[in-house]
């Protein structure tokens, strides 16, 4: 886990410097929490704010904008992680990828008022996802999100060490 922290910090720092805020404030901090909950800025962050990763599986979870609304209301910048399913974060077939892209576009349309940052998939190497499969899926999902939110920042999902 320690090896990944600098990677995530650099990714977030690059996002902050490369993409200025458009219409909503963004945290200048490179730290944050995985999932927001009431009072996180006080209890967890010691009266500071930062980034908040909200993870959802588009095939099984229903869109609930309240967590995004409340987190951004407390001053967090929401990074929405989108997975296809919890047991298979990136779909393997082209047809399933098309379906996932539509789901991601719908999700982005629902939460775009509260975030513009999206991470696609998580630890895909544990789910038999090869680089070409991921790249094909990522391109479809990115296009679907950008169609409803042109200013969106869509980044690759978290990768582990590759060790199973």
Per-residue pLDDT in tens (0 to 9) along the chain, 164 residues: 344 444 444 444 444 444 434 445 565 555 554 554 545 544 554 555 677 777 788 888 888 787 777 777 777 788 888 999 988 889 999 999 999 999 999 999 999 998 999 999 888 877 888 889 999 999 999 999 999 999 999 988 877 665 55
- Structure tokens that stand for 70 in this block: 């409340």
pLDDT of residue 19: 41
Report the number of distinct structural domains present in the chain. Answer: 1
Query: At residue 73, what are phi and psi to the nearest 5 degrees?
Result: -65, -30
pLDDT of residue 8: 46
**Cα(130)–Cα(84) distance, rounded to whole angstroms?**
16
Does 148 map to a domain? yes
Helix, strand, or coil (residue 14)? helix
pLDDT of residue 13: 46
Does 89 map to a domain? yes
Does 163 map to a domain? no
Residue span of the structural domain in which 13 resides: 4-158
Residue 83 neighbours by CB distance under 10 Å: 27
Does 164 map to a domain? no
pLDDT of residue 108: 96
Does 10 map to a domain? yes
- Contact status, residue 63 vs residue 82, Cβ threshold 8 Å: no
100-120 core/surface letters (b: 16 or more CB in 10 A; e: else): bbebbbebbeebbebbbbbbb
* The model's pTM: 0.73
């Amino acid at each position: 886990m320690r090896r990944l922290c600098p990677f995530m910090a650099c990714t977030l720092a690059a996002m902050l410097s490369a993409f200025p805020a458009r219409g909503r404030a963004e945290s200048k901090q490179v730290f944050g929490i995985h999932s927001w909950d009431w009072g996180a800025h006080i209890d967890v962050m010691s009266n500071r704010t930062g980034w908040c990763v909200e993870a959802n599986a588009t095939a099984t979870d229903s869109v609930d904008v309240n967590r995004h609304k409340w987190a951004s209301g407390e001053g967090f910048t929401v990074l929405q992680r989108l997975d296809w399913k919890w047991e298979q974060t990136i779909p393997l077939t082209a047809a399933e990828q098309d379906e996932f892209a539509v789901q991601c576009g719908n999700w982005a349309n629902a939460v775009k008022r509260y975030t513009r940052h999206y991470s696609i998939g998580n630890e895909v190497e544990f789910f038999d996802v090869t680089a070409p499969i991921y790249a094909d899926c990522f391109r479809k999902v990115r296009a679907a999100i950008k169609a409803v939110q042109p200013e969106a920042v869509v980044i690759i999902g978290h990768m582990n060490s590759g060790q199973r």
